[in-house]
Amino acid sequence: MQNKKTIKIENYQVTGDWGRQSSLLQEKFPELTDDDLEFEEGKEDELIRRLEVRLNKKHDEVVNIIRKSQLETI
């Protein structure tokens, strides 16, 4: 019997001023384009997948990066 690791991917919801947050992210990560940071409410998963690919980071790393940008806009 094989052990399968179950990876729980956290559902993340963008809150606050996304325009300001995306500007901060572009300052920190110049490789991010406006298209990479395009966001529609309820489509956080699409945003996170684009950022995972562009930044070559895992899901939880991208969520942490976004959370930090939210804190900086408060």
* Confidence at residue 11, expressed as pLDDT on a 0 to 100 scale: 76
Report the chain's terminal Cα–Cα distance, integer Å. Answer: 50
Q: Which CATH architecture has domain 18-72?
A: Orthogonal Bundle (1.10)
CA distance 50 to 24: 17
**Full-model pTM:** 0.81
Could you tell me if 51 and 62 are in contact, meaning their C-beta atoms sit under 8 angstroms apart?
yes
Cα separation of 48 and 54, whole Å?
A: 10
Domain ranges of the chain: 18-72
Residue type, 42: G
pLDDT digits (tens, 9 = 90+) for 42-66: 999 999 999 999 999 999 999 999 9
Q: What is the pLDDT of residues 2-46, one digit of tens each?
A: 555 555 566 788 888 999 999 999 999 999 999 999 999 999 999
Q: For the chain, what percentages of helix, strand and coil (3-state, to nearest 5) are there?
A: 50, 0, 50
